[in-house]
Chains A and B, each alone.
Chain A
């Protein structure tokens, strides 16, 4: 039975018109590059709709990392939605020193608030590099992270994810004043810092 079936499956794809793998790779690199770059773009215009505040206190504490296995399932949707900490970062947020920081924005943050924040970050000499995570990008990461949990994917939509600025600091010891500076800025929901090695994605989340 199985052997016969295997042959039938082989026959079923015998009409394969073929495709140039090099071309396939180039197309995937182009598309995949765009997915990557969305993460680095300021694309917040008009995304202030939706009032569901997803990230409560402490929800940015992401304990999830690495490939998903049935063993380390989250207990709540909130936990599943929290971005995964990069493997080369401290898994728990740091308070005293941090190389990488995520500024989660409140839902409903206005363009004006966002741009004011950009202006502050732009002139902050403690920052080595900055990126911006859109709701869509956070959702894309979530989808990949939970590719094997369609029921989770069905439960959320991009609008429920927080926007975030991803930041790498020049000096980890500058984190406490940095945190203090931005925690109270209008539009900022939460500041989460982690200590990462230099190969981690900016912000320490993935």
Chain B
């Protein structure tokens, strides 16, 4: 009876959990390897979703923390790349809902995006700003499909929608993006 819970009514301390600590080092090592392999790309996708590197870092950290909390049950038999994207996108959607879009980085943009000549450094601002003007789900489709090069089927699995929803959303979002980038039309 060495594993009896040690909680008392006076002190809401953590109950002693036998065997929980075993393998912690190995788990952390494995998790760290995953972060090293996937963290940068995850963070860049987060940036494309929110236009802010600091928030992107925060969203990525939240995503990874959620994954770490359940690492024992996702480390095997799970497509970690797709899973991480799903958690990230959910974190983005969730954050957006919680803050009612009032956060600067997720706020409405000026009516007209900056129009700068192609090839200038400002061009990248224009694309990210244009992305931010799309509905968040369409933005997610574009980021997963075009920045990350996932297949339609993978994007569908990540977002939990059908392939046809992804295809339609992709077509709609690309058309909108073209309009937004009107001064510098994307080459067909």
Contact residues of A with B, CB < 8 Å? 1-2, 4-6, 8-17, 19, 21-22, 24-37, 40-45, 66-70, 86-87, 115, 118-119, 121-122, 125, 127-132, 140-141, 143-144, 147-150, 153-154, 170, 198, 201-202, 206
Q: Which residue of A lies closest to B93 (CB)?
A: A150
Query: Residues of B contacting A128 with CB < 8 Å?
Result: 3, 18
Which of these, A9, A19, A27, contacts B146 with CB under 8 Å?
A9
Query: Residues of B contacting A42 with CB < 8 Å?
Result: 7, 12-13, 15
Query: Residues of A contacting B31 with CB < 8 Å?
Result: 25, 28-29
Which of these, A45, A70, A129, contacts B17 with CB under 8 Å?
A129
- 25 contacting pairs across A/B (C-beta < 8 A): A4-B186, A4-B187, A5-B146, A5-B186, A8-B123, A12-B48, A19-B57, A22-B32, A25-B36, A28-B65, A28-B68, A31-B62, A32-B68, A40-B20, A42-B12, A42-B13, A67-B78, A67-B83, A69-B157, A115-B9, A129-B5, A144-B69, A144-B87, A147-B160, A206-B70
Contact A154 B97 (CB under 8 A): yes
**Measured between alpha carbons, how far is A143 from B66 in the docked complex, in Å?**
10
Contact B124 A15 (CB under 8 A): yes
Say yes or no: A40-B15 contact (C-beta < 8 A), given A5-B186, A12-B124.
yes
Q: Which residue of A lies closest to B162 (CB)?
A: A70
Contact residues of B with A, CB < 8 Å? 1, 3-9, 12-20, 28, 31-32, 35-36, 39-40, 43-44, 47-48, 53, 57, 60-62, 64-74, 77-79, 83, 86-87, 89-90, 93-94, 97, 123-124, 127-128, 131, 143, 146-147, 149, 157-160, 162, 174, 186-188
Q: Which residue of B lies closest to A69 (CB)?
A: B157
Contact A130 B7 (CB under 8 A): yes
Give min CB distance, A83 to chain B, whole Å.
12
Query: Residues of B contacting A68 with CB < 8 Å?
Result: 160
Query: Residues of A contacting B28 with CB < 8 Å?
Result: 25, 29
Contact A129 B90 (CB under 8 A): no
| Given A13-B124, A21-B36, A129-B15, 5 other A-B residues pairs in contact with their CB atoms under 8 A | A25-B64, A41-B13, A42-B15, A125-B1, A147-B89
Give min CB distance, B98 to chain A, whole Å.
11
Say yes or no: A121-B128 contact (C-beta < 8 A), given A29-B31, A70-B162, A150-B90.
no
Which of these, B3, B61, B89, contacts A24 with CB under 8 Å?
B61
Contact A6 B149 (CB under 8 A): yes
Give min CB distance, A46 to chain B, whole Å.
12
Which of these, B7, B32, B47, B162, contacts A25 with CB under 8 Å?
B32
Contact A198 B9 (CB under 8 A): no
Say yes or no: A8-B47 contact (C-beta < 8 A), given A25-B32, A32-B68, A130-B15.
no
**Measured between alpha carbons, how far is A19 from B188 in the docked complex, in Å?**
35
Contact B3 A32 (CB under 8 A): no
Which of these, A1, A32, A131, A198, contacts B187 with CB under 8 Å?
A1
Which of these, B4, B14, B124, contacts A37 with CB under 8 Å?
B14
Query: Residues of B contacting A29 with CB < 8 Å?
Result: 28, 31-32, 65, 68
